[in-house]
Structure 1
Amino acid sequence: MESNDLFALADELRELRETKKRLEDELKAVGLEIDRVDACLAQRMLDTETQNFTRNGTMFCLISTTRASAAAGRKDELFEALREAGYGDLVYETVNANSLSAFVKEQTTENVDVLPQWLEGLVTVFEKSTVGVRKAAR
């Protein structure tokens, strides 16, 4: 292989890697901007009590999900409490975040929209609203 070919390939590889890094940085920035705009739109939809709307052939719908995670530094206590309450099947080396969220939502619903006392302080519960986007039906 000639030196020129070697250098040309080396230059091309360097340029491609630089392009990849620039695009990854740009993608990260776009992702952060999507999160910001999504949060603003979700809040505006909450404020105006708008469940969904269609704009330019795209439907936007408000989606609220319950998320739960172990309170900071209390994961072991949470695991023990889950086992003692008969829900040890949720506990692995870690508790799956989606399973815990669904479980906490279920327990709260069964307890008249109040977190059961045995979970108090062991989990952090918050509502997250996002906007679903899909092509609108004609």
Structure 2
Amino acid sequence: MDTDKMFEFADRLRALRDEKAEAELRLKEIKAEMDEVDYRLSELMAEGEMQNFTRSGMMFCLTTKTHASAASGRKEELFTALRGEGFGDLVYETVNANSLSAFVKEQISENGDMLPDWLNGLVNVFEKTTVGVRKAAK
């Protein structure tokens, strides 16, 4: 076994994980700053009654978007109301991918390491081997 190569990959994997974490943090900071700058710019444009302007070859224009979500704890009630009013096509069920993976793993384990027949063809199952990284105990 080439331990030098193994340690080289281990060091590189750790460095990449650290770099990814730093990039994710930086991205979060950039998004927060973008939100703040967007808000301030939109306020200035609204105060100046300016719908749009061009700067450095880019057009900046005020837009208004409506965002809606179910009231806290009333999602099922909303779904029932939408269906009742003929808007059931807006409602769809989803299954969380991580929950489905855990469930399928459990079903395989309880079925002699085989996918139960009733799930066969309904789910795609594959395994991916990765290297976990955590701080070593002292």
**TM-score band w.r.t. shorter chain:** 0.5 to 0.7
**Aligned counterpart, 1:21:** 21
Q: What per-residue deviation string (whole Å, max 9, x for no partner) do you get for residues 36-68 of structure 1?
A: 211221222222221111112211111111222
Superposition RMSD in Å: 2.2
**Aligned counterpart, 2:34:** 34
| Equivalences for residues 107-126 of structure 1 within 5 A | none
Change (3 A) 1:2 1:69: closer
Q: Once the 2 structures are TM-superposed, how far is the Cα of residue 26 of structure 1 from its aligned partner?
A: 1.0
Alignment: residue pair count:
94
Rg (Cα) greater in structure:
2
With normalisation by structure 2, the TM-score equals: 0.56
Higher relative contact order (CA 8 A, sep 6+): 1
- Runs of 5+ unmatched residues, structure 2: 95-138
Classify the secondary structure of the residue corresponding to 2:86. coil
What letter is aligned with 1:42?
A: S
**Percent of aligned positions that are identical:** 54
With normalisation by structure 1, the TM-score equals: 0.56
- Runs of 5+ unmatched residues, structure 1: 95-138
Change (3 A) 1:46 1:7: same
Relative to its length, the structure with more strand (as a share) is 1
| Equivalences for residues 2-81 of structure 1 within 5 A | 2-81=2-81
